[in-house]
Amino acid sequence: MKNKECKIVQDILPNYIDELTSQETNDFIENHLKECTECTEMLNNMKKEINSEDTKKQKKVINFIKKYNKKITILKFILLTILVIFILVLGRRATIMLQMSNKARESKKGDDYFCSYYLYDSGSVTTIYSYVKENEFLRELIYSNNYESNYKITEYCNGSSSNYYIENSDSEKIAMLNSEKEGILPIKIEDYCFLEKDSSIKTFLRNVFMSSVKTVKCNDKECYYFSNIVSSSLGMGEIYVDKETGLIVRAIINGTGVQSTISDFTYNFNTINDESLKEPDISEYKIVSD
């Protein structure tokens, strides 16, 4: 009798564990278990088995989550590293630009300076010499190319008006006096100062993000080389800035065509005397009105 009951109880034990059995069946099983150690033992073993299977599954899930978390942590770390490097690179670039801009501002403080400008442009060379003493200045522009259409323009400004002396390729000499049109020659030291005219935040940020900087030698000077930089006085291209002075010593400007122009600049401060500011001899020129 007991054996038969055992068989029935053991058959329905899995359902009993899963709580799928009715209250009457539960009562019947529990009554039997009170008196049967064999079935009780069996029930305990079945419970253990189920428990260990559950832990296995749980462990798998936990391991999966751990691995996933590890991957996320690594990804976060990589992104953070990239962000830090990005900020460091941009910060360095911005710092160098501000430094050079400040140095340039200091350098051009002297009202007495000489600067020269050479522009090389597909077979032609334009040279401009500027002698500046306070408001007074003398500028010479000499243009020469392979086709002998050379000319020279000298501008003398006494502080309020300018006289222009023009010598063309046929050696004709003409002069325009007391012209209010000051500065047909686009040369002022601001044009050479690093980003001097580009005080706008927009241009500055554009340059910080878009250009690159490295240290190079140019015209025997330790320079910062900036590629892909925008300057309102020069246009867009590459510039070499003297680390000492913050002044541009070379600019390679992208033209509208394929050809780029190369310009070289030199500067001397506090060397201007009356001789260097001497106006051309007016008697050699034919005076015309503009």
Whole-angstrom distance, CA of residue 143 vs CA of residue 164: 15
Q: Which is nearer to Zn ion, 9 or 213 (CB)?
A: 9
Residue 151 CA: distances (Å) to CA of 126, 154, 227, 288:
10, 10, 33, 17
Binding residue (CB under 5 A) for Zn ion from 6, 8, 46, 277: 6
CB 187 within 8 A of CB 130: yes
Q: Which of 216, 253, 226 is nearest to 93 (CA)?
A: 226
What is the total count of residues that contact Zn ion (CB under 5 A)? 3
Residue closer to Zn ion, measured from CB, 32 or 197: 32
Residue 5 or 112 having the CB closest to Zn ion: 5
User: How far is Cα 204 from Cα 230, in angstroms, rounded to an integer?
Assistant: 9
Residues 28 to 47 in contact with Zn ion, rule: CB under 5 A: 36, 39
Shortest Å distance, C-beta 70 to Zn ion: 50
Asked whether position 253 contacts Zn ion by CB under 5 A, the answer is no
Work out how close the CB of 17 gets to Zn ion at its nearest, in angstroms, rounded to a whole number: 16
Smallest gap, in angstroms, from Cβ of residue 15 to Zn ion?
A: 16
Nearest distance in Å: CB 45, Zn ion? 13
Give how far Cα 265 sits from Cα of 34, 114, 127, 143, 279, Å: 107, 11, 10, 16, 23
Nearer to Zn ion, 36 or 98 (CB): 36
Nearer to Zn ion among residue 36 and residue 277 (C-beta): 36
Of 257, 261, 206, 220, which Cα lies nearest the Cα of 239? 261
Q: Are 140 and 152 in contact (CB under 8 A)?
A: yes
Residue 47 CB, nearest distance to Zn ion (Å)?
16
Q: Which positions lie near Zn ion, rule CB under 5 A? A: 6, 36, 39
